[in-house]
Structure formats: structure tokens, C-alpha cells
Amino acid sequence: PPLQFSPQELGAVQDEATLAEARSIFEQAEKAWPIVQRAVVGVTKEEYLWACSILHSRSFMQGAGPQQRHVLVPGIDMANHSFDPSCHVEYSYSFSWAWPCLE
């Protein structure tokens, strides 16, 4: 996850869009850190950045523009482990999710 990249690793990124997204994620995390630090007693910055990385690597985006939000779907990683998948995720704009499985 980009939040755990060193400056040298980020410097090696050659795709400008990827680099811009990584910088944006890092800037958002840095901006929110003082708020989180006051709200969650005892959390370290390393733990906070780890949690942000998990959020960014495990969430789906719902909505668009300023209304866009991260959505976490418990268990979704189990649907992403096979070259012959038997599950898929369905989403509706009423904000409901389904996880139909054949096996």
C-alpha cells in the first residue's frame, strides 16, 4: 500500500496517475492524523497508517464526487482467490449488496 512506501519506493513509480493517487492518499492520511490522534487514545501513527492501508486495499468506492465513500464488505477476500470463481458481488444503488455463491 502506498502509505507504507518509502520516499525511494515512491520515487521509483513511473506511472504519473499512480503516483498522483499515492500522493493524494498520503496527503489525506497526514491531514486526518491529528484528528485521529486526539480521538483514539494510544494509537500510534504506524498503526493508523496500517489501518488506512487496509481501508484503501480492501474497500470498494460507492458514489461519485464529494459523495464518494469507502465501503467495506466483510468476507469479500474469500471471493477473490480462484481462477475459476464461483461467487460474485452484486450491488444496487439502493446501497444493498449480495454475494451469490454456487459452492
Is pLDDT of 27 > 70? Answer: yes
Q: Across residues 60-81, what is the average pLDDT?
A: 77
Instruction: Name the pTM for this structure.
Output: 0.65
Q: What is the pLDDT of residue 81?
A: 66
Q: Across residues 35-53, what is the average pLDDT?
A: 93
Is pLDDT of 10 > 80? Answer: yes
pLDDT digits 0-9 by tens, 82-101: 677 666 666 666 656 555 55
Cα distance between residue 59 and residue 5, in whole Å: 19
Cα distance between residue 70 and residue 78, in whole Å: 19
